Amino acid sequence: MSTKNKVVTFGEIMLRLTPPGFRRFSQADSFEVIYGGGESNVAVSLANYGIPVDFVTRLPNNDLGDCALMEMRKRNVGVNNIVRGGSRLGIYFLEMGAVSRGSKVVYDRDHSAMAEIRPGMIKWEDVFADANWFHWTGITPAISQGAADATLEALEVASKLGITISTDLNFRKNLWQYGKASHEIMPALVNHCDIILGNEEDAEKHFDIHPEGVDVTHGDTIDAKAYISVGQQLIKRFPKCKKAIITLRGSISASHNSWAGVLYNGKDLLESPTYQITHIVDRVGGGDSFMGGLIYGLLSYPENDQHALNFAVAASALKHTIYGDANLSTLDEVQKLLKGDASGRVSR
């Protein structure tokens, strides 16, 4: 893979605190520590697959900021363009769900270093000097006006340089609290994008785009063809977009999901195989692992959207078996699942 295939991701990495053993918050007398976030998770996936990748963020100049930095270095993610400043690292608390009890997230990220980022703090021309792909998500502009403005600044530079731009729409209702609604901010940002990933809720909440006659709140049967209208509407709304991808999650329970995806390239609707994930270890980061797999697939198989989609779904199915935010599956493991080997046999 040439160094020109370098990817840059931009967003907030946080301290994740989780009660051990599927305990509820009210039962917790300790928390397990993980560092993760949507865009850093994508970066870790790509680094695992051998793609050169830089993660850009703003971290406090303290021990917790150092720990987040070390986590990225440990995963072979480039950190040279991370800026330091601010007083605190964002935190989120995760109560892991099981069976019929869903997971819960409590955010504590107000006034974090990343929430207080402003345009001009990052030299985007330098960041993109040797890159050809830029990825961001709808989480970053939801944090604060400054983060939204810094995202737009990055997108304008990336567009000017002709860099491929992807987004995961990632609607998070609990984050849009600074006085702007997502539909006021997101369209101007998504206008710059070549690749748009989301699910039916993301498209509906951000842009009032939704498939007709689909209820995804329960059940395991999803008609992928029902989502062609979502892809068509996204590409019509954002003319620069070349591919719209929708993840399809059927929630039988918190521990058992079906998982698939569709890709609409302006002409064809491509459908992936559907995986039954019957014993979920950790579903957080499932969409990020899909995005990481998709970027890898589109870079590695530029003439084969079907293979890129299938790779993304297989990679993210494996992520559901891994504790933590990031997908630590290897390229060989994803390829093995793609070939139909889901046996889980011991490798010795």
**What local confidence, expressed as pLDDT, does residue 1 receive?**
38
Percentage of residues in the chain with pLDDT exceeding 90? 84
Percentage of residues in the chain with pLDDT exceeding 70? 93
**What local confidence, expressed as pLDDT, does residue 183 receive?**
94
When pLDDT is cut at 50, 70 and 90, the band that residue 221 belongs to is low
Asked if the model's pLDDT at residue 129 lies above 60, the reply is: yes
| SS3 label, residue 189 | helix
When pLDDT is cut at 50, 70 and 90, the band that residue 211 belongs to is confident
Among 126-130, 219-223, 288-292, the range scoring the smallest mean pLDDT is 219-223
Domain spans in the chain, listed from the N-terminal domain onward: 3-338
When pLDDT is cut at 50, 70 and 90, the band that residue 217 belongs to is very low
**Residue 292 phi, psi (nearest 5):** -60, -45
Structure tokens at 282: 């950790």
**Which helix (H) or strand (E) is 286 found in, with range?**
helix 286-300
Comparing CA positions, the residue from 57, 45, 50 lying closest to residue 81 is 57
Average pLDDT over residues 308-317: 97
| SS3 label, residue 263 | strand
Residue 78 to residue 34: CA distance in whole angstroms: 19
Residue 59 bridge partners (DSSP): 84
45-101 pLDDT, tens digit per residue, is: 999 999 999 999 999 999 999 999 999 999 999 999 999 999 999 999 999 999 999
319-343 pLDDT, tens digit per residue, is: 999 999 999 999 999 999 999 877 6
Other CB atoms within 10 Å distance of the CB of residue 177: 12
Average pLDDT over residues 271-290: 95
**What local confidence, expressed as pLDDT, does residue 309 receive?**
97
Among 54-68, 154-168, 202-216, the range scoring the smallest mean pLDDT is 202-216
Q: Between 331-338 and 305-319, two packed helices, what is the crossing angle to 10 degrees?
A: 110
Residue 286 to residue 318: CA distance in whole angstroms: 9
Average pLDDT over residues 130-136: 97
Residue 249 to residue 110: CA distance in whole angstroms: 30
When pLDDT is cut at 50, 70 and 90, the band that residue 259 belongs to is very high
Residue 187 to residue 54: CA distance in whole angstroms: 25
**What local confidence, expressed as pLDDT, does residue 215 receive?**
56
Other CB atoms within 10 Å distance of the CB of residue 334: 28
Q: Rounded to an integer, what is the distance from CA 132 to the centroid of its chain?
A: 19
**Residue 206 phi, psi (nearest 5):** -80, -40
Residue 166 to residue 193: CA distance in whole angstroms: 6
Average pLDDT along the chain = 93
What is the b/e burial string over 265-287, where b = at least 16 CB atoms within 10 angstroms of the residue's CB? Answer: beeebbbbebbebeebebbbbbb
For residue 332, which amino acid is it? D
163-193 pLDDT, tens digit per residue, is: 999 999 999 988 999 999 999 999 999 999 9
Residue 7 to residue 128: CA distance in whole angstroms: 9
**What local confidence, expressed as pLDDT, does residue 213 receive?**
59
**What local confidence, expressed as pLDDT, does residue 212 receive?**
66
Residues with Cβ < 8 Å from 343, sequence gap 6 or more? Answer: none
**What local confidence, expressed as pLDDT, does residue 265 receive?**
93
Please give the CATH topology (third level) of the domain spanning 3-338: UDP-N-acetylmuramoyl-L-alanine:D-glutamate ligase (3.40.1190)
For residue 235, which amino acid is it? I
- Where do runs of H (alpha helix) occur along 134-278? 140-143, 145-160, 182-190, 200-207, 228-237
Asked if the model's pLDDT at residue 26 lies above 90, the reply is: yes
**What local confidence, expressed as pLDDT, does residue 344 receive?**
67
Token match 């964002």: residue? 90
3-state secondary structure 3-19: HHHCEEEECCCEEEEEC
Residues with Cβ < 8 Å from 188, sequence gap 6 or more? Answer: 152
